[in-house]
Structure 1
């Protein structure tokens, strides 16, 4: 990949979940477009390898347990780059369990990562995004719009994230901040591998079934989700806010 001269756009983005999957693809795409990137995640070694790949990027490895940790991440980003133009909340988990199978710890962890952390980060970032007339993109899910089986906590968290997105978009449209949710169907990431393992299904067989279920003939690539995020943070998308945008190859049609 050829990376534009780092910082050429003069803009800065904070990307959570940057150590793998969609988050990693998002970080690469924004760096390629000339943004300075703050890489956030828990896997320090993976973040370090990505930082070395992306000139001008910085990294912050931590477990975002609470609002204080999220506020600290925003402040680290401002301290490093002096401004914030976009926040992309990519971190997420899924536990394939029904409500009866979901214990308190599973529910709390799913809500913390999928809903609480995006809320805390958005709340902390909004004062800076208002200054830059920036953008927030929350990676939700098609299961935040149409529920799936055996994923009660996940569906609830992603549905909450969609509504949080819409509510914040209304509140901050007057501030010039665009806030949108991207709702992928199945995406070829390590999360999908883990999900297949939870269901006791061979990953290659699961992929064949998933691909066959998509009208376009295949599931989505993380780079395609990243491209949509980049567009939503661009000047061409200033009139798009409060949306929950599907990217699923037509599966929900």
Structure 2
């Protein structure tokens, strides 16, 4: 019961990693707050967790403030922020529209910045914890994904700044960088691989994109949630500004040596 009596504010809480974290934290005593733009998936997670649904746009300050008013009325101040909301920003720079760039910024970076800013008074008062969900795309550059890659790099910078600026006030901030995770969003990307390589299934596509990953498979949302819940808990009391990869070892692979592998 690591989170007994604590309130966790989770953006992107209706699906994937956010939903897995909500279920895990609730099972360990947390009051769970689920923020997202689509009510139906939030309701499914709330049914499992007894969580509070605050429907809205995490990149919009007014929406976040209204959400926090509901949180304070129901549970009190926020102890943990999981800045998990994100989205795509695919395409090469030469053909990326201003609208696509702006959307990548809003979905990936603005959501983390706005929710952190609005939750900070609570987190300072409670000596709380922030976990920013970035990606290994924040450490490396995937092909034709300039918006996503740039904003995930920026999410890491935001997490470092929060750790530097608010650590003395008792707020810990850490960044988790997943690789491929078997979620609905990733399944959409696997559909592209299926079509491109004339494969027969999404599972076959996952095997292809992880063939050079040492563990040879994508993570499950629950495996990523295990790491997030650890760094958000008091067990990780000395971790601040850490960048944790949850990628099956993808980031240790030396690309120029792949030609030596059968």
With the shorter chain as reference, the TM-score category is over 0.9
State the structure with more CA Rg.
2
Query: Which of residues 100, 104, 112 is equivalent to 1:110?
Result: 104
Distance 1:96 1:213 in 2: 22
Note the C-alpha offset of 1:65: 4.8
SS of structure 2 residue aligned to 1:100? helix
Pair 1:205 & 2:200 matched: no
Once structures 1 and 2 are overlaid, which stretch shifts more, 31-40 or 89-98? 89-98
Alignment of 1:144-183 (within 5 A): 144-183=138-177
Partner Cα distance (1:8, 1:142) in 2:
28
The TM-score with structure 1 as length reference comes to 0.92
The alignment's C-alpha RMSD in Å is: 1.7
| Distance of 2:111 and 2:128 partners within structure 1 | 19
List per-residue Cα deviations over 1:87-140 (Å, max 9, x = no partner).
Answer: 001111123311123211111111111001110110110110111111000100
Name the SS of the counterpart of 2:95 in structure 1.
coil
Q: Deviations over 1:217-249 (max 9, x none)?
A: 211111111111111111111110111111111
Question: What corresponds to 1:234 in structure 2?
Answer: 233
Could you tell me how far 1:23 is from its partner in structure 2?
Answer: 0.8
| TM alignment of 1:110-149, pairs within 5 A | 110-149=104-143
The count of residues paired between Structure 1 and Structure 2 equals: 247
Output aligned runs, 1:58-73, within 5 Å.
58-73=52-67
**Which aligned segments of 4 or more residues in structure 1 are displaced greater than 3 angstroms?**
197-202
The CA distance in 2 between the partners of 1:150 and 1:90, in whole Å, is: 23
Do 1:183 and 1:246's aligned partners in 2 also have CA atoms closer than 8 Å?
Answer: yes
The separation in 2 between residues aligned to 1:151 and 1:219, in whole angstroms, is 20
Q: Offset of 1:157 from its aligned partner?
A: 0.4
Which is helix-richer, 1 or 2?
Answer: 2
Alignment of 1:1-150 (within 5 A): 9-55=4-50, 57-150=51-144
CA shift at 1:204, angstroms?
Answer: 2.9
Work out the CA distance in 2 between the residues paired with 1:224 and 1:193.
17
**1:193 is matched with which residue: 176, 187, 198?**
187
CA contact (8 A) 1:137 1:182 kept: yes
Q: How far apart, in 1, do the equivalents of 2:58 and 2:165 lie?
A: 25
8 Å contact 1:96–1:198 — kept in the other structure?
A: no
The answer (yes or no) to whether the contact 1:95–1:195 under 8 Å persists in 2 is no
1:8, distance to aligned residue in structure 2 (A): 7.2
In the alignment, does 2:244 pair up with 1:245?
A: yes
The 8 Å contact of residues 178 and 241 in structure 1, kept in 2 or not, is answered as yes
